[in-house]
Amino acid sequence: MTPGWTEDRVGALKKLWLEGQSASQIAKQLGGGVTRNAVIGKVHRLGLSGRATPSQPARTATTFRPAKTRTTPPVQPSAPRRIEAVAPAPRPNLPVAPTPERAPDMVGTATVMTLGAHMCKWPIGDPSSSEFSFCGRRASEGVYCVEHARVAYQPALKKNGSTELARSLRRYI
């Protein structure tokens, strides 16, 4: 059954829409097999489209941000995600997530913009994150600094190298 757009349904639609509800939410509330596309289509036909550009940040009201008092800085580097190979490393698919680690130097300072030719290109952090950077220390072995070169250019593992690898890698995770 498709009630179509009866007056009260349209009324509810207007109300909810102007209330700041998203199309999908409205569709859900109206029920009756109405999809968000239907809602949006109707909204446009009704001429009440705009209202700002809600999108994601809209969990409820869109126009005004309650300006939540943030007491929690974006710290917590988050769980180290695995890093896809960014630089040519003889040993690919290393489940290594190079994290800042306690380093003497300023590791992870170089960004894609500032990364120079002779700077270590060992990726630091999540490549999809804005926090992403590179080691940046002086590159000696290939494109990596001494330290990271050791990890990148891992000598072929022996039979039971598995444990050994995990061992040597642990400190980089």
Residue the block writes with tokens 């809209």: 58
Among 22, 99, 133, 154, binds DNA (CB under 7 A): 22
User: Is 44 among the residues that bind DNA (CB under 7 A)?
Assistant: yes
Among 11, 41, 116, 127, binds DNA (CB under 7 A): 41
28/150 with CB nearer DNA: 28
* Site track 67-106 with DNA (rule: CB under 7 A), x = hit: ----------------------------------------
Among 30, 43, 96, 110, binds DNA (CB under 7 A): 43
User: Is 14 among the residues that bind DNA (CB under 7 A)?
Assistant: no
Among 14, 36, 91, 150, binds DNA (CB under 7 A): 36
Among 12, 14, 40, 111, binds DNA (CB under 7 A): 40
